[in-house]
Amino acid sequence: MHKRAYATVVAASGAVALLVSGCGGGGSSTGGSTGAAAPATTSSTTTTAAASPTTTGAPKRDANADLVIWTDADRAQAVTKYADAFGQENGVTVAVQISTDVRQQFKDATKVGQGPDVIVGAHDWLGELVQNATVAPINLSPDVTAKLAPNAVAATKFNGQTYGVPYAVENIALMRNTALAPDAPTTMDQLVAEGTKIKDASGGKVTNVLIQQVGKTGNAYYSYPYLAAYGGGIFATKANGDYDSTKLLVDSAGSLKGAAELAKLGKSKVLSTNVGDDNAEALFDAGKAPFFITGPWAQTNAKKAGIKYAVSNLPSLAGGGPMEPFLGVQMFYVSAKAKNPTIAQEFVTNYVTREDVQMALFEATGRPPALTTAYEKAAAEDPMVKAFYEAGKNGKPMPNIPAMNSVWGPLGQAAADVISGADPTSRFTAAQKEIAANIAKG
């Protein structure tokens, strides 16, 4: 807990004060990272920016700067470079500070008026941030909007209002170890057949057919594509494209078919609750599995481990369509309590949408840019960018409504239970009930 000591004392000291004695430093960077943060938590934190050295606590707002930006360590360097250029152009000083848990630290610091002007983060935080009145709307001109990927723009909207400027789109795809599996399977049945052949022929070296994060508490992010393949999902959409928290699809016919597929794969030991966020990458990087369902963030370690890999679309499921992943969109938010709102708005609307900035952020994190021209450049540079983009072409943005917080736990657990043998129909019906009750509780 000491990680958030500063903000905690003032903001959440109520709840935390008595917890402190028991935490002793354990409860860091948890925030709302229940399931959605799968992408975020797996990214490594190696780079350090020149702006401020990394500490374990929330950064202390630089009081002298005319613009304060909080970001994680991965992107800090790229953001700093362009923030400095922006500062010189406009005669202002900019401070880029590294936050170890942007989502929670931003919320806590903003409550006590010590928050930054701009943060960099994922689009699915949006509902929660609006709910707490911590982010301000952004008015991008229609010309600029047209240059961005439409699904990225859709993800920046909540209740019909735009709250962010997107710079990257990410999604999961099928990664394969080309030394083990030279060809990409197009259906799950093919994948299992081929993977099993490879496993049996390896003499114990290959232990898993497919690596996919499940874990004991499950993972809704990686389970969703199975539901979507049969037309199921989590929420139905409203007429204006927003997700409708009152129309749950977890026990719809399509979702139940997807759950049955998860059960089948669990029974044949292709999926297992013993593979989770703690060992998934390690298993693939040790060459113990030919196939891995993961996102662009896993490339760094795979390269380091010397794995030759290729990326293709998620396979399609028997009797259904192709698996469709959730899209995660990375974007810049402006704080509703920004001390420098004008400069902050100027930076995100005129700078983040520049091609060179989007390219720099792409090079720092490997996520395909949201700006179409930048994406085309990046795709020409790196075929994997194109492969990941293609895999997510039909995907829907991860819901950014606050009700999604009620989904991660129950849906993940239902998937884990089904994979370890529970009856898919009754388990997913129960999960739907639990989610509906949680949403009703608000």
Q: Which of residues 130-169 bind other proteins (CB under 8 A)?
A: 130-134, 136-139, 141-143, 158-161
Question: Tokens in use for 341?
Answer: 């709102």
- Rounded CA-CA distance 247/234 in Å is 9
Q: In the bound complex, what is the minimum distance in angstroms from residue 316's beta carbon to other proteins?
A: 28
Complex with other proteins: residue 117 or 324, whichever CB lies closer: 117
Least distance in angstroms from the C-beta of 147 to other proteins:
14
Contacts of 426 (CB under 8 A, 6+ apart): none
User: Would you say 9 or 50 has its CB closer to other proteins?
Assistant: 9
Stretch that binds other proteins, among 41-49, 229-237, 346-354, 367-375 (CB under 8 A): 346-354
Check binding of 336 to other proteins (CB under 8 A): yes
Contact flag: residue 92 with other proteins (CB under 8 A): yes
Binding segment for other proteins among 14-22, 40-48, 254-262, 376-384 (CB under 8 A)?
14-22
The DSSP H or E segment spanning 373 is helix 372-381
DSSP state of 317: P
23 lines the binding site for other proteins (CB under 8 A): yes
Please name the residue that has the structure tokens 């794969």.
Answer: 265
**Geometric angle at alpha carbon 52, from 51 and 57, rounded to 5°:** 150
Residue selected from 293, 375, 427, 436 as contacting other proteins according to rule CB under 8 A: 427
Q: How far apart are CA 176 and CA 164, in angstroms?
A: 34
DSSP string, 123-136: GGGHHHHHHTT-B-
Q: Does 212 bind other proteins (CB under 8 A)?
A: no
| Nearest distance from C-beta of residue 311 to other proteins, angstroms | 25
Please select the residue that binds other proteins; options are 13, 44, 48, 88, rule is CB under 8 A. 13
State which of residues 109, 358, 406, 424 lies at the interface with other proteins (CB under 8 A): 406
Among positions 287-316, residues that touch other proteins (CB under 8 A) are: none
Q: CA 277 to CA 106: how far, in whole Å?
A: 25
Nearer of residues 351 and 389 to other proteins, judged by Cβ: 351
Q: Are 324 and 396 in contact (CB under 8 A)?
A: yes
Site for other proteins in 383-402 (CB under 8 A): 402
Which one, of 33, 24, 31, 19, lies nearest residue 2 by Cα?
A: 24
Which one of residues 166, 366, 395, 409 is an interface residue with other proteins (CB under 8 A)? 409
Cβ at position 109, least distance to other proteins in Å: 12
216 contributes a contact to other proteins by CB under 8 A: yes
The only residue of 171, 213, 299, 413 in contact with other proteins, by rule CB under 8 A: 413
CA atoms of 112 and 85, how far apart (whole Å): 30
**Residue 204 is a binding residue for other proteins (CB under 8 A):** no
Look up residue 306 and give its amino acid: G
Q: State in angstroms the smallest separation of the CB of 219 from other proteins.
A: 13
Q: Other CB atoms closer than 10 Å to residue 160's CB: what's the count?
A: 8
Q: Nearest Cα to 395, choosing from 300, 304, 307, 322? A: 322
Query: Measured from the CB of residue 368, what is the shortest distance to other proteins in angstroms?
Result: 26
Q: Is 410 in the site for other proteins (CB under 8 A)?
A: yes
Is residue 221 within the footprint of other proteins (CB under 8 A)? no
For the chain, give percent helix, strand, coil, nearest 5: 45, 15, 40
Site membership for other proteins, residue 85 (CB under 8 A): no
DSSP code string of 245-261:
EEEE-TTSHHHHHHHHH
Any contact of residue 71 with other proteins (CB under 8 A)? no
Structure tokens that stand for 310 in this block: 């290729």
Stretch that binds other proteins, among 10-18, 165-173, 317-325, 386-394 (CB under 8 A): 10-18
Element containing residue 104 per DSSP (H, E): helix 102-111
